[in-house]
Amino acid sequence: MKNKLKLMKQDSVITALNVALVFLVIVLLITILTVRTTYKEMTSDNYDELSFSYAIEDQAYYTLLDKYYYNLTTTGKENPEFQEYYGVAKYYEAASLYKAYDTVGNTEKALYYQNKMQDYEKDMGDWSMTKPGILKSLGLEE
């Protein structure tokens, strides 16, 4: 009788522990998923293609530069798949600096960035269609 009572008590403890185990396993899974997501976000340091194309569509050309340099720093090399986006980023920077130096009459630097513009224009590939938009946004219409 005493054992039976003990068994009944144990059964209820086991049931409670089972419920706790299921709950904790769920919490642990959520925690693992959260850590995994955070880790993925953290280590996928590079801006992806979509991020570049959105910036171009949005004509937020200046943001391309940060993305470009960020990718360059995190990976230590230029990703050939992003070459055209990088071309747009660098072209925009060169064009903005060309205009600035040209305006203040620093011909040496203006020429340097004008040459850079020509170099980066080749890298723009299909995105060279953005060139008129970039020049217009900088007040450098051809």
**How many Cβ atoms from other residues are within 10 Å of residue 40's Cβ?**
9
How far, in Å, CA of 82 to CA of 125, rounded?
11
The alpha helices in the chain, defined as continuous H runs, are: 2-43, 49-57, 61-75, 83-104, 107-123, 131-137
Cα atoms in the 13 Å half-sphere on the side-chain side of 40: 6
Q: How far is the CB of 76 from another protein (least distance, A)?
A: 8
* Residue 129 CB, nearest approach to another protein (Å): 19
The reply to whether 135 sits near another protein by the rule CB under 8 A is no
CB atoms within 10 A of CB 104: 10
Q: Compute the least distance from the CB of residue 40 to another protein, in Å.
A: 11
Residue type for 92, please? Y
**Residue 13 near another protein by CB under 8 A:** yes
Stretch that binds another protein, among 46-54, 70-78, 80-88, 123-131 (CB under 8 A): 70-78
Q: Which is nearer to another protein, 49 or 54 (CB)?
A: 54
Q: Is 59 helix (H, G, I), strand (E, B) or coil?
A: coil
Question: 18 vs 83, which CB is nearer to another protein?
Answer: 18
Of 41 and 126, CB closest to another protein: 41
Residue 62 makes contact with another protein by CB under 8 A: yes
Closer Cβ to another protein, 128 or 137, answer by number: 137
Placement of tokens 């850590």 in the chain: 35
**Residue 7 sits in the site that holds another protein (CB under 8 A):** yes
Closer to another protein by CB, 106 or 128: give it. Answer: 106
